[in-house]
Structure 1
Amino acid sequence: MINVFWHSLMASGRWKLIPALIMFGLTQLASMQGWPTLSCFILSAIGIIPIALLLSDATEEISEHSGPTIGAICTAVFGNCAEFIIALSALRLGLIDVVKASLTGAILSDLLLVTGLAMLVGGLRYSEQSFQATMARTNGAAMTLAVMAMALPASLISTSGIDDPVAIHGLSITVAVVLIVIYFLTLIFSLATHSHLFDPLHVEGDGLSLAAESTASVRLMPWIVQLILSTAFLAYQSESFVHFLEPATKQLGFSALFTGIIIIPIIGGFSEYIPAVKGALRNRMDLPISLAMGSSLLVALLIAPALIIIGSLIGQPMDLDFTGFEVIALFFSVIIVNFVNMDAKSNWLEGVLLLGMFAIFGAAFFYYPT
């Protein structure tokens, strides 16, 4: 097993392992030596990045062997791994407001930051890039419905004046169960019954022999091992990050809302930026679009409901009662991305517009009253 993992590290480059080990060691040293809280927070945040790079390399390699649809889902799942672990750690500590804000932030960063960055970088290299129109429309419709379902409890609570915590939590649990069922149905739709909509270029019977498939699976094993071990290191590093999160952000003057919506998604979602940018640079815009939409759907339909259910099981009840401005931000983001993707083409200016919108939302949440 050690030999397999070593070969995978050689494949991905030793230079990516060294900073990961250095930052991991510095984080633990700072924690044990009682360094200033802000220093520990910065080290733990930076330490997530090289581990996320190793995770990104593994998911990208696995995606290359599994096709674009399964690859995008795999990248979305493990790309959101850091955000989920951070949110789960914060939930265990009772930082409910931070967790709820991080869910909104994850969707905003996927739709605006990941998509915008890919369109900007790809547009600087190619005059115009195109992607599958059917896939964009299908994912866009699903994302719109997912955000509406996720925001419905908050809208109901604000318009009806419900203030009974038991009723609000019961409504949130009910919606969470429905959203999880919908997510698995979307997987069946995209991977089984209507897979041609997401991978129309797929050709049956590509002529690979059994021996070639066996060789490919053997070569894939080191990346699977790297994926598992990187996820484990990421979980441990994320625990350190959350431990210093609240006191450090208070020193910096950041509210729980701004921390969850901007700080956590930018750091936790780092492993999504790399494959998105690489796909754009290779003129394969289907990957960034699928990744951004797939990650957003994963957060809205699986991660958010899962945290609701887990919170009730560990004695940290959480609901879907988001602030009104969070709901507005989610709706605007979905509408903007759907408009940009309408013609199934992208350029660098559209990327700038999406990134600019993310920056505006960041400023708005920074000045949002605590």
Structure 2
Amino acid sequence: MALRTIIPLILLIFVPISIAAEQLHWGETAVFVTSALAIVPLSIWLTTATEKIAVVTGPSFGGLINAVFSNATELIIALTALRAGLVDIVEASITGSIIGALLLLLGLGLFTGGLRYKEQEFKPILARVNGSSMTLAAVAIALPTLVINTSKIVDASSIRNLSLITAGALIVVYGLTLLFSLKTHSFLYDIGISEEPILEPGADVPDKGVRRLLLWLGVLLASTIAIAVESELFVGVVEQETSRLGLTPLFTGVILLPLISDVAGYVLVVRLAMKNQMDLAVATVTGDSLLIALFVAPILVFMGQAMGQPIDLNFNTFEVIALAITVIVSNLILSGGRSNWLDGAFLLATYFLLGVAFYYHPIY
């Protein structure tokens, strides 16, 4: 059994440990640490199941499954936090997930791949189409903040209505990007499927049998339920523990939550880059960021209204500035269709500097 399979299996031990920590009252710190560690392997299994189902069902339906479930961990944690009333943290996690994908995730991929290969190439169309969509999403997300900062009188209902209309438009745009990439212009995205999934219990090459599909559907369902349980434990203590550590809700949402929820993405992108599969690596990163901006964020806006925990797109001004910096820098790096380790280092340095700025940013 490969090491990449053994580690996630071993980390699953934290699932029962975290439950025991909560039931036996071992303390908030124990619950915080063990539930965070439990989410890591569960997110890997969920991502693996999504990829396996995509392989079995083919490119069209498989691409749709990937588009919907690839960020399921972030969505589950965010919905749990929203239900608990942690609106500030949830709002910050939206921009944090986008910043983390385009700077940290992409930076790690370009840097590690560049250490092994002098220069790597990928289809510029991937960066061009997704970069345009991401720019539109960033502008739309920034609109409520711009309205507030350019108005003398702020009307809460107007901001809420603007956020709802914007959220609806973003979902429509996401649907159009799926139609473009999976149907009308799918030939532009013909980049293949990773030959080596993150985890490989059983056969080396996935087959298309019904039993195989049912197996991974079961893994997907079990992982989703387990992540929901662990998210309840984590969210129940995250505010107290981060406050004790001196972390603001802004830093917690922008930096901490994305780091915990997207470990599977880091593993996948680094492995693809190390195998010189840069088309897949870039598609994974840009796809993740688009999913957050065009689907997850709007869903959170609508679900917040339904839950009685209103959330809008009125972000902290510095979040909007950081998002703009992220989109500009990542688009510049990807525009040429070539990359090296220095490009990755630039992205990582940008993420580090923004992270430090968020750490020292006062509570708002």
TM-score (norm 2): 0.90
**In the aligned structure 1, how far is the partner of 2:62 from the partner of 2:161?**
36
1:226 aligned partner: 219
2:306 aligned partner: 313
1:367 aligned partner: 360
Q: Which runs of 5+ in 1 are unaligned?
A: 1-8, 203-212
Aligned-partner residue type, residue 36 of structure 2: A
Q: CA deviation at 1:232?
A: 1.5
**In the aligned structure 2, how far is the partner of 1:331 from the partner of 1:66?**
37
1:17 aligns with 2:9: yes
1:172 aligned partner: 163
Aligned-partner residue type, residue 126 of structure 2: M
Matches within 5 A, 1:192-341: 192-199=183-190, 215-341=208-334
What is the CA RMSD across the aligned residues, in angstroms?
2.4
Q: CA deviation at 1:302?
A: 1.1
Question: Is contact 2:56-2:208 (8 Å) kept?
Answer: no
Change in Cα spacing, 1:65 to 1:27, as seen in structure 2 (3 Å) is same
Q: Which runs of 5+ in 2 are unaligned?
A: 194-205
Q: CA deviation at 1:58?
A: 2.1
1:132-176 residue CA offsets vs partner (Å, 9 max, x unmatched):
111211111111111111111111111123422111111111111
Paired residues in the alignment total 351
TM-score (norm 1): 0.88
Aligned-partner residue type, residue 78 of structure 1: F
Matches within 5 A, 1:339-350: 339-350=332-343
1:201-228 residue CA offsets vs partner (Å, 9 max, x unmatched):
79xxxxxxxxxx9845543432232122
What is the aligned-residue identity percentage? Answer: 44
1:6 aligned partner: none
Change in Cα spacing, 1:51 to 1:364, as seen in structure 2 (3 Å) is same
Change in Cα spacing, 1:68 to 1:255, as seen in structure 2 (3 Å) is farther
Question: Is contact 2:57-2:208 (8 Å) kept?
Answer: no
1:37-56 residue CA offsets vs partner (Å, 9 max, x unmatched):
12221111111112122223
**In the aligned structure 1, how far is the partner of 2:120 from the partner of 2:341?**
10
Question: Is contact 1:114-1:288 (8 Å) kept?
Answer: no
1:43 aligned partner: 34
1:171-194 residue CA offsets vs partner (Å, 9 max, x unmatched):
111111111111111111111111
Question: Is contact 1:76-1:291 (8 Å) kept?
Answer: no
**In the aligned structure 2, how far is the partner of 1:114 from the partner of 1:340?**
13
2:49 aligned partner: 58
Runs of 4+ aligned structure 1 residues displaced above 6 Å come to: 67-70
1:138 aligned partner: 129
Aligned-partner residue type, residue 350 of structure 1: D
1:293-337 residue CA offsets vs partner (Å, 9 max, x unmatched):
111111111111111111111111111110111111111101101
Aligned-partner residue type, residue 16 of structure 1: P
Question: Is contact 1:114-1:292 (8 Å) kept?
Answer: yes
Aligned-partner residue type, residue 231 of structure 2: S
**Greater CA drift, 330-339 or 124-133:** 124-133
Q: CA deviation at 1:360?
A: 0.7
